[in-house]
Amino acid sequence: MEVFLPIAQVFINPIEILLLSAIVGVLSGLFGVGGGFLMTPFLIFLGIPPAYAVANEANNILATSVSGSTTHYLKNTLDYKMGSMIVIGGVIGTSLGIYTFTYFKGIGKIDTVISLAYMYILAIIGTLMLVESLGEIDKAKRNVVVKKKLHVHYWIHGLPLRMRFPKSKLYESIFTPIIIGLLVGFIAAIMGIGGAFILVPAMIYIIKMPTKLVPGTSLFVTIFVSVVVTFLHSFNYGSIDLLLVLMLVIGSIIGVQIGQKLGERIDSSGLRALLAILLLTVGIAIAYDTFFAEKIINGATRANNSDLNFFSKFIIDFSKEMPFFYGLFTIMFAIILGVGAAFIRRFISNFRKKLLLAKS
């Protein structure tokens, strides 16, 4: 069974998209990392052009970030002031990233740039995770306890214009979160990822935020960065496909819930090494596809205009004739899906608690 994506102009198997997004969602929930750096390459392997894979995964990240951020909002585990400073840098970085994206797209090299970016990022992240996880396993076997320094100062801590952040109980230069946000926004615009693999460690080890506020604040920042990325990709290139986003969001949200439940019950230190190996494998596959398999015809099948149904033609016309409103619609579409998922999750959780109380 195949479904036609009117914007990307390819046929895809919806079962494959749902299954892969759910698997990536499980990994995200299990390890607390964003799934964009895995899902975008998978979309490319399934035959979706890299420029479209980046844009649609960014919209998927927007929906899942809204869902997770809503949950943290209800728990009051967000630092809005710190998040706003990071967002300022994120918007600037996103604009620079889109400018870079446009330049390479104009010279016809954007697919290669995206592939190379993923190849290097996955190789670096996978190697660091593998070394760290193997080290943790070795220490656990030998019962070694390593004491870490509580306060490590870098050059970024000496920047001026300090500001108080009451929620996090910090007194920090405003340039620290802005610089971090700039880096995250730039990467998000080019690679279609939320940047949590940079943002979360930076908030913990550089900004030194309380750990309980980090996930919610990270998701809060990702919402705004993803909004800008989604809108600019949609407005400039018309590359957001609502049908693909819907499948990605459904699979991701279901997978994240399963991953979070599994994370509460099992020790993930050993599985973390497997995730690192997976990242390295995907990086190698991208390198092979980029340098040695460029002439191989992609597995997805393209369609002619005569193959389009009414819905597909409507989506294409909407994106081309009213790109501004189409961009806004894609944002609202993702936000509604994310908020709806969060409240459904909360309803189910409360319902289960009531059942347990009734049984007891």
Other beta carbons within 10 angstroms of residue 321's beta carbon come to: 9
Q: What is the pLDDT of residue 127?
A: 83
Place 146 in a pLDDT band, splitting at 50, 70 and 90. low
Provide CB contacts within 8 A for 311, sequence distance 6+.
Answer: 6
Host domain of residue 142: 3-359
Question: pLDDT of 231-256, one tens digit each?
Answer: 888 888 888 888 888 888 888 878 87
Q: Which two tokens stand for residue 52?
A: 């479209």
Average pLDDT of span 69-74:
73
Average pLDDT of span 160-178:
83
Question: pLDDT of 192-218, one tens digit each?
Answer: 776 776 787 788 777 888 877 877 788
DSSP class per residue in 14-78? HHHHHHHHHHHHHHHHHHT--SHHHHHHHHHHTT--HHHHHHHHHHHHHHHHHHHHHHHHHHT--
Q: What percent of the chain has pLDDT over 70?
A: 81
- Find the range with the poorest average confidence among 36-50, 142-156, 317-331: 142-156
**What is the tally of structural domains in the chain?**
1
Please check whether residue 122 is in contact with residue 283, taking contact to mean a CB–CB distance below 8 angstroms: yes
Question: pLDDT of 257-302, one tens digit each?
Answer: 777 677 656 655 556 677 778 778 877 887 777 776 654 444 444 5
Helix (H) or strand (E) holding 153, with range, is none
Instruction: Of 22-36, 108-122, 127-141, give the range with the top mean pLDDT.
Output: 108-122
Residue 63 pLDDT > 70? yes
Q: What is the pLDDT of residue 135?
A: 75
Residue 66 pLDDT > 60? yes
Question: pLDDT of 21-52, one tens digit each?
Answer: 888 877 776 665 666 777 888 888 888 888 88
Q: Shortest CA distance to 74 belongs to which of 352, 358, 350? A: 350
Q: What is the pLDDT of residue 293?
A: 61
Question: pLDDT of 298-322, one tens digit each?
Answer: 444 455 555 567 777 788 888 888 8
Average pLDDT over the chain reads 78
Average pLDDT of span 319-345:
82
Q: What is the pLDDT of residue 298?
A: 45
Q: What is the pLDDT of residue 214?
A: 79
Q: What is the pLDDT of residue 294?
A: 52
The CA distance from 223 to 59, in Å, is 10
